[in-house]
Amino acid sequence: MSTDFRKSTVYQIYPKSFCDTNGDGLGDLRGVIEKLDYIKELGADYIWLTPFFVSPQNDNGYDVEDYYQIDPRYGTMEDVEELIAKAAERGIGLMFDMVFNHVSTRHQWFRRAMEGDPYYKEFFFFRRGRAKGQPPTNWESKFGGSAWEYVEKFDEYYLHLFDVTQADLNWDNENVRREVQKIVRFWMDKGVKGFRFDVVNLISKAAFEDDENGDGRRFYTDGPNIHRYLKELHDATFGTDDGIVTVGEMSSTSIENCYRYAGRKTGELSMVFSFHHLKVDFMGNEKWVLVPADFQKLKSIVFQWQTGMAKHDAWNAVFWCNHDQPRVVSRFGSEGGYWKESAKMLATIVHCLRGTPYVYQGEELGMTNADFTEISQFRDVESLNHYQILQDKGLSASDALRIVQIHSRDNGRTPMQWDASRYAGFTAEDGAEPWIGVNGNHDRINAAAQLTDPDSVFHYYRRLIALRKELDVISCGDIEPLAEHHPCIFAYRRTYEGHELLVAANFYGRSCQWKDAPDLIGFKRIIGNYREENRPEDGLWTFGPYETSVWYR
Q: Catalytic positions, please?
A: 198, 249
108: CB partners within 8 A, 6+ apart: 66
In the complex, residue closest to ligand TEU by CB: 62
Q: Quick check: helix, strand or coil at residue 168?
A: strand
351 binds, among Ca ion, ligand TEU, none (CB under 5 to 8 A by kind): none
Smaller CB separation from ligand TEU, 84 or 103: 103
Q: Quick check: helix, strand or coil at residue 21?
A: coil
Q: Give dist(CA 321, CA 531) in Å, integer.
A: 27
Contact predicate 457/366, CB 8 Å:
yes
Q: Give dist(CA 344, CA 544) in Å, integer.
A: 14
Please count the other Cβ atoms lying within 10 Å of the Cβ belonging to residue 530.
17
22 binds, among Ca ion, ligand TEU, none (CB under 5 to 8 A by kind): Ca ion
Beta strands in 224-266 (DSSP E): 245-249
The verdict on 34 binding Ca ion (CB under 5 A) reads: no
- How far is the CA of 85 from the CAs of 36, 81, 190, 191, 203, in angstroms? 11, 6, 10, 8, 32
Shortest Cβ 288–Ca ion spacing (Å): 32
Shortest Cβ 22–Ca ion spacing (Å): 4
Please state the three-class secondary structure of 477-509 as a single string: CEEEEECCCCCCEEEEEEEECCEEEEEEEECCC
The verdict on 22 binding Ca ion (CB under 5 A) reads: yes
The verdict on 79 binding Ca ion (CB under 5 A) reads: no
Smaller CB separation from ligand TEU, 385 or 513: 385
CA angle 100, 75, 111 (to 5 degrees): 40
Smaller CB separation from Ca ion, 5 or 52: 52
The one segment of 21-29, 101-109, 210-218, 527-535 that binds Ca ion by CB under 5 A: 21-29
Nearest to 74 by CA among 124, 40, 118, 27: 27
Smaller CB separation from ligand TEU, 142 or 486: 142
Smaller CB separation from Ca ion, 252 or 427: 427
Query: Judging by DSSP bridges, how do beta strands 93-98 and 46-49 pair with one another?
Result: parallel
- Residue numbers 509-528 binding Ca ion by CB under 5 A: none
Contact residues: ligand TEU, CB under 6 A? 59, 62, 99, 142, 162, 198-199, 249, 251, 287, 323-324, 382, 409
251 binds, among Ca ion, ligand TEU, none (CB under 5 to 8 A by kind): ligand TEU
- Integer distance in angstroms from the first to the last C-alpha of the chain? 27
Shortest Cβ 432–Ca ion spacing (Å): 9
Shortest Cβ 163–ligand TEU spacing (Å): 8
How many residues at the interface with Ca ion, by CB under 5 A? 5
User: Looking at 19, 28, 347, 446, which residue binds Ca ion (CB under 5 A)?
Assistant: 28
Which residues lie near Ca ion (CB under 5 A)? 20, 22, 24, 26, 28
